[in-house]
């Protein structure tokens, strides 16, 4: 029997349990897994200047209160521009929820091959 979690397969319960803990740590500390954030220049009235540089995990986790940001969903493709730090923090959390739902982080599935008919010829 195998275990399927967050789009990965694991051979043992101990491995999948460790994967859950590791994934929680990434969700708590690594927003670049699901978003790209850029510190904007310019303004809404004059036009935003979007740099090529992206913020690191540490920088995203400590956004400045007086700056404006662009938040881009890594997996969804949506872009949100001209966000205050409070709005960017909220958007990063919203996108994290969508990412966690997409990865099915709250579900472990036990997988096993059918026992009544050999279906391996259809998948190999």
In a domain, residue 119? The reply is no
In a domain, residue 124? The reply is no
pLDDT digits (tens, 9 = 90+) for 35-54: 999 999 999 999 999 999 99
In a domain, residue 122? The reply is no
The number of distinct structural domains making up the chain is: 1
pLDDT digits (tens, 9 = 90+) for 58-71: 999 999 889 999 99
pLDDT digits (tens, 9 = 90+) for 80-117: 999 999 999 999 999 999 999 999 999 999 987 777 88
In a domain, residue 69? The reply is yes
In a domain, residue 59? The reply is yes
In a domain, residue 118? The reply is no
In a domain, residue 26? The reply is yes
Number of Cβ atoms within 10 Å of the Cβ of 108: 16
């Amino acid at each position: 029997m195998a275990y399927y979690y967050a789009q990965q397969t694991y051979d043992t319960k101990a491995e999948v349990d460790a994967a859950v803990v590791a994934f929680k740590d990434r969700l708590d500390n690594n927003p670049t897994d699901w978003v790209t954030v850029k510190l904007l220049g310019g303004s809404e009235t004059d036009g935003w200047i979007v740099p090529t540089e992206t913020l690191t995990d540490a920088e995203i986790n400590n956004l400045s209160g007086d700056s404006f940001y662009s938040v881009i969903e890594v997996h969804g493709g949506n872009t949100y521009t001209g966000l205050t730090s409070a709005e960017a923090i909220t958007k990063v959390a919203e996108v994290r929820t969508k990412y966690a739902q997409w990865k099915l982080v709250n579900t472990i599935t036990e997988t096993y091959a059918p026992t009544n008919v050999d279906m391996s010829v259809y998948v190999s």
